[in-house]
Amino acid sequence: MSPTGKLFVHRVLKEWKFQFSVWKTAVDWLVALYLVVPALFIIIKQSFDWWQAPPAWLSFLPFSSAASLLFLFIVLGNIRLFVEEADQLFLLQARSWQKRITTLSLGYSLVMNLMTTFLLFLYLAPIFLLHYRLSWLQLVIWAMFCMLLKSVTGLSKQLVGLRYRGWGERVVRWLLYFFSAMYYRGSVLLLVNYTGWFTLSATILLGILSLLLYLRANWRGSFWQDAAREQTIRLRYASLFLRAASVYTKKSRTVAVNNRPLVFYRSNPLFKQRSASNLLTEACLKSVLRSKSRLFSYLQLIIPCLAIILSIPVRWKWAVWFGMGFMLCKFVELFWRETWNSPWIQLFPWNKEDQSKAAAKGIFVLMLLGFLPLSLAFGLQVYSWAGALALPLGGGILGYYLSKAVASFS
């Protein structure tokens, strides 16, 4: 093996070892015994049950809608480069070594995309084979198409971030999402009736991926942005667990130069009454809603929850719905703790009553952002339109009391 190959393997193994140590620290044997193992058991059992009989709620979900949900999986994920700041001492001067590491990293990202796509389609195979009557050949070609589009989207997002800044980056990225969604939807429509044309669409996508891989491997002048991005990706789980432990972590600003938030750009007041508790609540809400990374992590939690609430039997839904409400409260509590422990907040002498009011209000509002869609989907699926009106209302009432209970221990 070449020296660059050994260096790349060393960095990959170090990455996996670091992530394992992070999760090992957070998930002890008790958590694994009572949460992780039962969750894995339910997921595996659900897949075997689907091979016996697909869930009844699929009759209300046409194939085009089910296929469109997979586009959310396509736009998630990252392309890794395994660049470190210390590389400026040698690799930045040794162009051939740097290019070799970049090429190996891109290949690693493609393999990881292939594996995650394979596992997802293997889990969903009984739904698409038994209910929607696809053939194994169609399913395999579709899986390869999703893997290619996921890789193309990930590379395109990275290149857009290197090329544009501010509003330009935001506009180009949304255009990228729009055209990717249109291309995906148009191609999936060919899957059922014109498999040959769908294969041609996947072949075209393979050509686009090859071009983007060449551009990314030969892109120059992006070392510091790549290093900062890698550091953020590497520490994403560690940062989450540190927030849970009420440890403030300083934010990296290298990648987010000149990036404007999507909402609250002018920082207009959210509450007319400028009380201390309202100011604290406003600080928490703005810190979350103005952060794409926090909203993205929240979305990554909501999507699996939505899939679970739609797929489990009716007799379990009420208990799972209540449990998800509590889980979302605990999740957004991390955002509140991060705001409360930030140095600029701690500069002021807040009293305990204002802190408790702000925590309850902030956790309640942020929790509803995810809990209302779950309640709407639950009510619409089980109780039709009457449930679609009643369950979100019930979710708001439940969220209010859950957030007060969680805030009392914050």
Tell me, what's the pLDDT at 261? 54
* Amino acid letter for position 206: L
CA distance 310 to 303: 11
Residue spans per domain, the chain = 3-12+46-234, 261-407
CA distance 352 to 350: 7
Share of the chain above pLDDT 70, in %: 88
Tell me: pLDDT of 333 over 80.
yes
One-character DSSP codes across 76-107: ---------GGGGGTTTT-HHHHHHHHHHHHH
- Report yes or no: 391 and 379 within 8 Å, Cβ to Cβ: yes
CA distance 140 to 125: 10
- Report yes or no: 394 and 373 within 8 Å, Cβ to Cβ: no
Tell me: pLDDT of 253 over 90.
no
Q: How far is CA 168 from CA 8, 26, 229, 313, in A?
A: 34, 39, 19, 46
Query: In the structure, what pLDDT confidence band is assigned to residue 32 with cuts at 50, 70 and 90?
Result: low
The residue with greater pLDDT, 253 or 160, is 160
CA distance 359 to 98: 47
Q: Strand, helix or coil at 248?
A: coil
- Report yes or no: 388 and 379 within 8 Å, Cβ to Cβ: yes
Tell me, what's the pLDDT at 258? 44
pLDDT in tens, 314-324: 777 888 888 88
Tell me: pLDDT of 152 over 70.
yes
pLDDT in tens, 342-401: 777 777 788 888 888 888 888 898 999 999 999 998 888 888 888 888 889 998 999 889
Tell me, what's the pLDDT at 147? 93
For the chain, count helices (H), then strands (E): 15, 0
- Report yes or no: 338 and 250 within 8 Å, Cβ to Cβ: no
pLDDT in tens, 208-222: 999 999 999 888 878
CA distance 344 to 116: 41
